[in-house]
Amino acid sequence: MLEPIRRDELADTMALVERLSASYRRRVVGQTGLWWSLLAGLLADGHVLLESVPGLAKTTAARTLASLCGGSFSRVQCTPDLLPSDIVGTQVFDATRSSFHTEIGPINANFVLVDEVNRANTKTQAAMLEAMQERQVTLAGQVHPLPEPFIVFATQNPIEQEGTYELPEAQLDRFLLKEVITYPSAEEEVAILDQADAATADQPAVADPATIQSLQRLTRRVHIDRSVKDYIVRLVGATRKAGAAGPLGRYVEYGASPRASLAFQSAGRAIALLSGRDHVVPEDIKYLRHQVLRHRLILTYEAVADSVRPEAVIDAIFAATWAP
């Protein structure tokens, strides 16, 4: 039985979230959906995949969140010749001592930005995703736990295919959320120009890693009723049934695994807490439906030919599934 969340804990959480959001808005213009996905991933202790064309503040947003949370930050720029040891670390020979010592790579940070992950070769992708899943790296037979909290933001550019290695579906499933970032509005782009002229400095930290871990533990205490769990299971189960999405159902080749149900539960709890509630409602599940499912549905070649997006299929499934 989970301990109920006290009223003062909710109040403290909302105050902290407001401070984080206010500092974020001073550094990043717009991108509210991106911010909520980053926060939800952080509170749910899951990794986030970011997809957009270059220049839409993915790196800035990730770096801002890391600095606001007072955690260590590292960035890996992926290239086809990047080796697994360039990310997880390796054994280095010390000539002065005539011995080897272990140097853990840039994966050893609270917040890790893996830029253009689809440019890394498959072996390097696998090494990184193993560290994401196990929260540890093994070098020379020794296990090295990664710091807590530990969250990976991986980015990919959807418009460039040459020299890239598309992430397999099984590896995409390791990401809690996939956020697709769109262009800013005209007003937001003017604000970006104004902010560039103002030379905005980095925002000071408003939390620390210990506080973030406390928030993650609090998120796991958010109550989720059996009826909402049944709703999640029915939604995920519908992705595996050809007729569940109506005419669009024929475009689904493979549905989502039970990991999608776990993602809905974790993300729903995070959204509920960010909304100032100690319990999950169906709207929390609907809010991140695209982010949870868009990378977990495998569509047919016919869907690509007919320009059917996974978001359209997801909306059809949610529209056809009764909510408590």
pLDDT tens per residue across span 6-43: 999 999 999 999 999 999 988 888 888 899 999 999 99
Residue at 151 is within a domain: yes
pLDDT cut 70: percent of the chain above it: 96
| Domain hosting residue 308, numbered range | 221-324
- With respect to residue 213, please indicate whether it lies within any of the assigned structural domains: no
167 and 241 in one domain? Answer: no
Q: Is the dihedral of CA 244, 247, 249, 250 positive or negative?
A: positive
| pLDDT number for residue 201 | 60
Residue 241 lies in a domain: yes
Residue 198, in any domain of the structure:
no
Tell whether 62 and 138 lie within a shared domain. Answer: yes
> Cβ(51)–Cβ(179) under 8 Å?
yes
**CA distances (Å), 112 to each of 5, 60, 66, 105, 132, in order?**
30, 13, 9, 11, 10
Same domain, 131 and 227: no
Domain containing residue 127: CATH number: 3.40.50.300
d(CA 78, CA 112): 12
Condensed to tens digits (0 to 9), the pLDDT of residues 191-205 reads 888 887 775 566 788
Helix (H) or strand (E) holding 38: helix 32-43
How far, in Å, CA of 301 to CA of 252, rounded?
10
Domain count, the chain: 2
Return the residue matching tokens 């959001």: 21
Which CATH number characterizes residue 323's domain?
1.10.8.80
Cβ atoms 43, 273 nearer than 8 A = yes
177 and 265, same structural domain? no
* Residue 193 belongs to a domain: no
For the segment 163-174, what is each residue's pLDDT rounded down to a tens digit?
678 888 878 888
Q: pTM of the full predicted structure?
A: 0.91
pLDDT in tens, 207-218: 999 999 999 999
Average pLDDT, the chain: 89
Q: pLDDT band for position 92 (50/70/90)?
A: confident
Q: Note whether residue 197 is domain-resident.
A: no
Q: Is the pLDDT of residue 246 over 80?
A: no
Please indicate, yes or no, whether residues 182 and 239 belong to a single structural domain of this protein. no
Q: Are residues 83 and 175 in the same domain?
A: yes
Domain-located, residue 262: yes
Q: How far is CA 34 from CA 154, 280, 320, in A?
A: 13, 21, 27
Q: Within this chain, do residues 23 and 168 fall inside the same structural domain, yes or no?
A: yes
User: Domain check: are 182 and 225 in the same one?
Assistant: no
Asked if residue 195 is part of any domain, the answer here is: no
Q: In what order do the strands lie in the sheet with 177-180?
A: 73-77, 111-115, 151-156, 48-51, 177-180
- How far is residue 132's CA from residue 167's CA, in Å, rounded to a whole number? 14
Calculate mean pLDDT across residues 250-254.
87
